Structure 1
Amino acid sequence: MYISKCELEVRYAETDQMGVVYHANYLIWMEVGRTKLIKDLGFSYAGMEKDGVISPVVDINISYKKPLKYGDTVVIHTWVESYNGVRVNYGYEMYNPKGELAIEAQSSHVCVKKESFRPIQMRKYYPEWHDAYETAKK
């Protein structure tokens, strides 16, 4: 299983009145992790969009373990949890500066044609991407 890793510094604007990261920002950080994973595997989500294919979120789950605060450096781990040629499930873990697990999350996506929202088979449209996901998955 391949795990992509990236670091972000928590900005003040990403926190709430309690001084911890506002929950919706984790969704953005999950996107950062996915984009990094896709880039690490040699592909570009932006390139897929230019082809008229998008990958909407169809399910998401986040479990909050420890708070992250302004100035913390968060380490985001992202991987392909499962993949069946149409649906891909990504896994995420985010760690605080002490190396403690702060967030566990999963998101599910399906690639669809932008104009019709009809699902596509990755094997047919992006065979190299399909092979990379098959190799990288858990």
Structure 2
Amino acid sequence: MKAAANIEVRYAETDQMGIVHHSNYLVWCELARTKLINELGFNYKELEEQGILSPVTNVNLDYKAPSTYGDVITAETWIEAYDGLRVTYGYNIINQKGILCVKGTTTHVCIRKNTFRPISIKKHLPDWHEKYEMIKKQVKENV
């Protein structure tokens, strides 16, 4: 399962050369990831209200082609890997011409807000675990 967010590149997101500054791609990944989670029937805000946060523990972005002011890009995301504790989301950021601009991943864990200690998604978020396992199984079947 993939989710996609369409984003129009704003002037403020570009540098003096008119190219999107690299930090903005992480924001776009977050937009797509949040959309995927919502499409799966979950909500980050509700998770945080339960005292659970989902920080990024690893980021890997490969810049393939520039995005520029006025481009309309599509940020796609999917679940790349899941082991009951960590989730790795995959991303493609593609411009309106179909050119891959950025490819990457972010890895997340869930932690208790008050202790910052990792928790098992499998144990503490069984609905999330079940859905992620289902997606992982579908991905294996399609390989």
Post-superposition shift, 1:23?
0.4
Does the 8 Å contact 1:89/1:109 carry over to 2? yes
Post-superposition shift, 1:123?
1.7
1:7 counterpart residue number: 6
Give the partner amino acid of 2:17: M
2:97 counterpart residue number: 98
1:117 counterpart residue number: 116
Unpaired stretches in structure 2, ≥5 consecutive residues: none
Per chain length, whose mean CA-contact separation is higher, i.e. which structure has more relative contact order (CA < 8 Å, sep 6+)?
1
* Bigger helix share: 2
How many positions carry a matched residue from both structures? 137
2:41 counterpart residue number: 42
1:62 counterpart residue number: 61
TM-superposition CA deviations, 1:16-40 (whole Å, max 9, x none):
0010100000111111011001001
Post-superposition shift, 1:100?
1.1
2:81 counterpart residue number: 82
What is the alpha-carbon distance in structure 2 between the residues aligned to residue 102 and residue 59 of structure 1? 20
What is the alpha-carbon distance in structure 2 between the residues aligned to residue 15 and residue 54 of structure 1? 30
Give the partner amino acid of 1:55: S
2:29 counterpart residue number: 30
Identity %: 50
Deviates more, 1:31-40 or 1:125-134: 125-134
The two structures have a TM-score, normalised by structure 2, of: 0.93
TM-superposition CA deviations, 1:68-119 (whole Å, max 9, x none):
1111100011000000011000000010110111100100111000111111
Runs of 4+ in 1 over 3 A off after TM superposition: none
Post-superposition shift, 1:6?
1.4
Does the 8 Å contact 1:74/1:96 carry over to 2? yes
Does the 8 Å contact 1:79/1:136 carry over to 2? no
